[in-house]
Amino acid sequence: MAYHNDGFVRVGAATPRIKVADCEANRESVRRLMEEAAGAGVQAMVFPELCLTGYTCGDLFQSGTLLAGAEQALRRLLQETEGLNLVAAVGLPVAVGGELYNCAAVLCRGRLLGLAAKSNIPNYGEFYEARHFSAAPGYLEVCFAGQRAPLGNSLLFRCEEMPELVLGVEICEDLWVPCPPDVRLTAGGATLMLNLSASDEIAGKAEYRRGLVQGQSARTLCAYAYADAGEGESSTDLVFAGHNVIAENGALLAESQPFGTGLITADADLERMLAERRRTTTWRNARAPEPFGPTHEVVFSMPVERLELRRKIEPLAFVPRDAQHLEARCETILNLQAAGLRTRLAHTGAKNAVVGVSGGLDSTLALLVTARAFDALGLSRAGILAVSMPGFGTTMRTKSNAQRLAGLLDAQFRETPIGASVLQHFRDIGQDPENHDVTYENAQARERTQVLMDLANQNGGLVIGTGDLSELALGWATYNGDHMSMYAVNASIPKTLVRHLVAHAARRARQDGAAGGEELGAVLEDILNTPVSPELLPPEEGEIAQRTEDIVGPYELHDFFLYYVLRFGFGPGKIYRMACRAFAGAYSGETVRHWLNIFFRRFFAQQFKRSCLPDGPKVGSVTLSPRGDWRMPSDASAALWLAELETL
């Protein structure tokens, strides 16, 4: 499905400086902020509750003069903003017969799309709204501000030019009740909720409010913009801080500083929300309308111009940016990996494990995890057999690091050269050893797997797999070679995260102060500084000749592609544009497009390897287990994806 602006919409939340009961002055403040927002590319925005009159009017809400002034102010605002390409929700009181409703006027390009009314009228503590306002009706049509429009709490507003933009509106207290209107509205299709609020400020309330907005955006899988009343409201008993919040599926996108006015903006990804809803079966189940009643859709037209994205896109999609968060995440993942292996060892009764160690990142992580699992079971690390199997491409640096690492972790170390066995195999099958083709490379990988499996049989143990998620995505593994093990602890760890896990282990080794900790940290850091390589081709002057990223491409790019393909199902075009923004200055657009093409070609062609993976623990939201998160036919065609790439 093609989305306008790749599904991104610029959202604004604004707090105008108001004067209580001065509708004309308030209209002017709202108009200026709408013009500012339109100039900033905002496409949908929200203002505070009752901002055309002020929330703190008290019994003045019973005055026909105030109500008429608010209606006239809205009529003028509609006229003045007819040329602005944005949709806005503005708060005001609306009298219908003998009822007075607390409403959000939803307007776009001079048209009053509807009046979304407040459902939950608070009448406790400092709130006395039931003295003036009635709870929202489900749906009715009224004539207001010179136009005919629907009024109620069941309204959805869908943009004709950008159909993924569907607005739902609720007002202040509506968010704070056990079953908010947004449950009904998002179940009916709203992707962006707007909340007009006049939430007075007391100590500790901002944290609660922020968490409430974030939590509700996560629960309803939507973007959520919350605008709070601020300067100008009566301070007779209350203070309003203008605390505005924009969130998306639990993540905070933007937040205003307290005790100010003005506009905050954020670029929300509505395609991402729709993708989350499609993959979440419980979301689909919750869409049954019976508990909530029907919704009523209003379609509006608004020209959609190309959005120059301002949203921060992290290049390392799997790696938290915050250092403290990263440390906690690494520790959690290492514990998850170790817990999975610990359970498997306990279930099988195995007291031994075999790990092929190359001196590279993946086997280092697998050995670290195995040591943790043995510690958790109270088993001696002497039951871990770390096996180095030097072949035609092994260098002294990697072999030495593998041996030192095993010793520092108190594991057994064994060196089993495979050169003679592989040469015999070449003679058996008629392979020229000077022909460094795929057979030359894969024969070494399969010989190593045979050695590990047989040693595991000898020792009554399990072969611990070392391959990572990035390699599985690209098919960068030898089928029935390093592709196979008895438990694959790294199966859901992308290469970019493997590096951070090993770096975390190096820091912990130095900080713990245990004997050998400094030396262990130094070995791990040297492994981190070693080029990623399968070491299957002969070294050049003693140095690694085969660098993986020269062949398959930069892992940071492939992990970025992998995350957005698997997690959200984004197409090549959107991923390309996001990657160009995320890696601006590091990779050209042509480079990104080249490796994205390689990614999709390899990803589709190599599914057969993923269809028969060994067991391994899931530690994040993205994994390729054929029994869990990813089921794909091995003969699926990449034609559609490659055709889209051709258009970039």
Q: Is residue 641 part of a domain?
A: no
Which ranges of 322-387 would DSSP assign to H, the alpha helix? 323-348, 361-377
Q: Is residue 119 part of a domain?
A: yes
Tokens 């973007």, located at residue: 223
Cα separation, 602 vs 561, whole angstroms: 12
Q: Is residue 342 part of a domain?
A: yes
Mark whether 248 and 375 lie in a shared domain: no
Please state the residue numbers annotated as binding site for ATP: 356-363, 466
Structural domains of the chain, count? 2
Mark whether 348 and 469 lie in a shared domain: yes
- Report whether 176 contacts 317 (CB < 8 A): no
Mark whether 438 and 535 lie in a shared domain: yes
Q: Is residue 306 part of a domain?
A: no
Mark whether 263 and 336 lie in a shared domain: no
The amino acid at 647: T
Give the CATH number, domain containing residue 363: 3.40.50.620
The active-site residue, picked from 71, 103, 108, 118, is 118
Instruction: Locate the DSSP E strands across 213-312.
Output: 223-228, 245-248, 251-255, 262-269, 296-300
Mark whether 269 and 400 lie in a shared domain: no
Mark whether 273 and 418 lie in a shared domain: no
- Which residues does the chain have with pLDDT short of 50? 290
Range of the domain at 264: 11-300
**Contacts with 426 (C-beta within 8 Å, 6 or more apart), sequence order:** 432, 433, 440, 443
Q: Is residue 48 part of a domain?
A: yes
**Contacts with 80 (C-beta within 8 Å, 6 or more apart), sequence order:** 31
- Report whether 324 contacts 368 (CB < 8 A): no
Give the CATH number, domain containing residue 44: 3.60.110.10
Please state the residue numbers annotated as binding site for L-glutamine: 124, 199, 205
Specify the pLDDT at position 545.
64
Specify the pLDDT at position 2.
53
The active-site residue, picked from 49, 201, 233, 556, is 49
- Report whether 137 contacts 153 (CB < 8 A): yes
Strand pairing partners for 218? none
pLDDT tens readout for residues 562-621: 999 999 999 999 999 999 999 999 999 999 999 999 999 999 999 999 999 999 999 998
Specify the pLDDT at position 286.
61
Helix (H, G, I), strand (E, B) or coil at 63: coil
Helix (H, G, I), strand (E, B) or coil at 104: strand
How is residue 531 annotated by DSSP?
A: P
Active site annotation includes 49: yes
pLDDT tens readout for residues 373-387: 999 999 999 999 999
Active site annotation includes 399: no
Mark whether 370 and 471 lie in a shared domain: yes
Q: Is residue 607 part of a domain?
A: no
Token pair belonging to 642? 């490659």
The active-site residue, picked from 23, 103, 108, 172, is 172
Q: Is residue 647 part of a domain?
A: no
Q: Is residue 563 part of a domain?
A: no
Cα separation, 200 vs 626, whole angstroms: 52
Burial class (CB in 10 A: 0-12, 13-18, 19+), 587: buried
Specify the pLDDT at position 259.
85
Active site annotation includes 541: no
Specify the pLDDT at position 538.
79
User: Quick one: which of 107, 307, 65 has its CA closest to 196?
Assistant: 107
Mark whether 282 and 380 lie in a shared domain: no
